Amino acid sequence: MVAGTSQLRRRLGFCGHWLALALYVLAALFPLFWLVKIAVTPTDLLFGEGIRLWPSSTTLGNFQTVLGATDFPWYFLNSVIVSLGTAVAVTAVAALSGYALSRFMFRWKNAVAFFLLLTQIFPLVMLIAPIYRLMTPLGLVDSLMGLILVYTAYNAPFATFLMQSFFEGIPKDLEEAAMIDGCTRFQALWRVILPLTLPGMGATLGFVFTAAWSELLFALMLISTETRMTFPVGLLTFVSKFSVDWGQMTAAAVLALIPACAFFAVIQRYLVQGLTAGAVKG
């Protein structure tokens, strides 16, 4: 009797666990479903049918208009360039600076870490004016390179702490053994330590790519030429003074998910490779 009751409790707990997980997945995916639903709904049915789980008829006209009659292909390309450039630059800077903070003892180390952390407490609104004044004489306003530099400077401190935590999880004995075998410190870092931190570098790439891909304020303030706008700024072109083109806006948002999903598919592969290499070498 006791064994049967215990087995029943385990089954109920198992079912409750999966039920809670299914409810969480549904709640997380429902906004995406609603986004796709509005994107394929004809304009005359969007307000005429009221709130429905799925429209009575669907259309791909919104996607065709976004791709063929607007500048959104340029917005997508600009966002890909800026996001990839920022992710690569920040990961490279964070890897070197995180390694230095985790391995070397130097004067004012705590002060450097404190000031890096201090940069993250300022709201973006406070940084727009000084950054604009700084970039204008350098000719970096209204350019994708200037936007990449701003994103790199803003995301590098947090990414540095993220990489530092991964480096601190790797024993120093590994690189010391490599240096005893004849490697320089840089060779030990490149051949031994960095392969073990591929999961951390993948997490950093993903975090920075997402931050740059969805950032609006800097891109809105620093970019004025329409062909250089990024995806978040381009969404504002569907908002007019008296109306919002919900169908085309949501279609553009759905299309913007494709590069991000493709990027994370690549990152996931490298994460698995990094975890496997770390398990074998460890």
pTM of the model: 0.82
Q: Is the pLDDT of residue 271 over 80?
A: no
Work out the pLDDT band at 43, boundaries 50, 70, 90: confident
Say if residues 267 and 202 touch (Cβ distance below 8 Å): yes
Q: Is the pLDDT of residue 252 over 80?
A: yes
**Paired tokens of 84:** 């990839």
Which pLDDT score is estimated for 281? 42
The pLDDT tens digits of the residues spanning 48-98 come to 777 778 888 888 888 988 888 888 889 989 999 999 999 999 999 999 999
Q: Is the pLDDT of residue 236 over 60?
A: yes
Mean pLDDT of the chain: 84
Q: Is the pLDDT of residue 218 over 50?
A: yes
Distance CA 282, CA 258 (A): 36
Q: Is the pLDDT of residue 185 over 80?
A: yes
Which pLDDT score is estimated for 270? 61
Distance CA 99, CA 196 (A): 13
CB atoms within 10 A of CB 192: 19
Tally of CA atoms within 13 A in the half-sphere of 124 that contains its CB: 13
Buried b (16+ CB within 10 A) or exposed e, 47-76: eeeeeeeebeeeeeebbebbeeeeebebbb
Q: Is the pLDDT of residue 280 over 70?
A: no
Which pLDDT score is estimated for 272? 57
| SS3 at position 239 | strand
1-10, 21-30, 211-220, 240-249: the lowest-pLDDT one: 1-10
Distance CA 106, CA 254 (A): 49
- Supply the DSSP string of 211-271, one letter for each residue: HHHH--HHHHHH--SGGG--HHHHHGGGB-SS-B-HHHHHHHHHHHHHHHHHHHHHHHHHH
Q: Tell me, what DSSP letter sits at residue 48? A: T
